[in-house]
Amino acid sequence: MGERIRTSQKPAVIPPKKTCLALSGGGTFGAFQAGLLVGWTEAGTRPAFDSITGVSTGALIAGLTFLGPDYDCELRRVYTTLKTEDIYTKKRGVRSLLSDSLADNTPLAQQIDRILTPATMARLAEEHRKGRRLYVGTTDLDGRRPVIWDVGAIAANNEPGARELIAKVMLASAAIPAFFPPTEIPVEVDGRQLIERHVDGGVSQNVFLRPPQVPPEYRTRPPADFLYGSDLYIIVAGKLYADPHQVKARVVQIASSGVSTLIDAETRVELIRLYTASILAGMNYHLASIPADFQAPTDSTKFDPGEMSRMFEEGRRQALTNTAWRKNPPGTLENEILAQRSSIRLTRVANKGGAGEGEDTPVPENKSGAATGSPAPSNKGGGAAELRVP
């Protein structure tokens, strides 16, 4: 059906092909995105993307990708060698609960400062003037809305404080609310000097698309007239469906798991929305994520070089073997369809298609010894088997 709709949008004159890249947030799982992009370069098929968007960890990767393959070494350094203490330090004591965050992200600010050299700023401006676009998403904490920053335009404008603004935008995009402090960004509204507080872009939209530069003559015409036949590549930092894990009966852990679950669900909705938009614009939809049967860590805030290197190499392997991309959004495969329950008597059904093949493991128990109802990850690290009414 989707292909028929896409074909029906075909214009009389096929426009020049464009390539767009969208990178989601996902903390340490960004190592998969970085590895895929580095492997794509090694395969010799990575496009010079016309438009790149990024959120949170994807924002940093988007910036380095926008600068070109010359910066692949920096992608590898950041996502295979940095440790937790290179990104943040946890605050101690009860006072942290009364402050604006549980951790201090000054080390991350220093990493961003290291990357944003004068040469990097000049390169950002140069690529923007070529017509390429780089967009980063943050969330206005007080305004409760997403904000999209045209990073290339900020660099090209070369106004005083441009470098500092881009650094703040990158830091804000990865500022997990409550875990990291909001980033204060000064703005001028109708001549008034104000301070906005920005946090992780994934809070309001964890992945998004902005089209390439649109010629004036196309701006009032249907998007297919400009984008038909173009490619949309989306790389998710993580799995489409996160592996289950036992949540400790502590308020912080419960809240953290709840927020993560909400963002994961929001991401899948955004991926479906992007699929719909790509059909209406006549674009080719390509989606990559960590495979369901890959044994991935469950904590996206723990920066372990060993685990990150494994995810980096998995992304790189997929790029080199050309096995990274699927053509449909989440929720369209048989093993992704949510089954309803009509009883508390359940049976275990192994997922198919790499999402839980092989061994099943017992349902975890709570302190009373009763089953929690959440399947544990399989011993192979794949997506857990599903519990269904027999």
**Quick count: other Cβ atoms within 10 Å of Cβ 36?**
28
d(CA 138, CA 95): 27
d(CA 18, CA 232): 9
Burial 237-276 (b: 16+ CB within 10 A, else e): bbbbbbbbeebeeeeeeeebbebbeebbebbbebbeebbe
Q: Tokens for 95?
A: 């006072």
What separation, in Å, do the N-terminal and C-terminal C-alpha atoms of the chain show? Answer: 32
Point out the catalytic residue in the list 50, 72, 140, 200: 200
Point out the catalytic residue in the list 56, 256, 260, 289: 56
* Catalytic site includes residue 56: yes
* Strands 133-140 and 145-150, sheet pairing: antiparallel
* Catalytic site includes residue 72: no
Query: Which residue numbers are catalytic?
Result: 56, 200
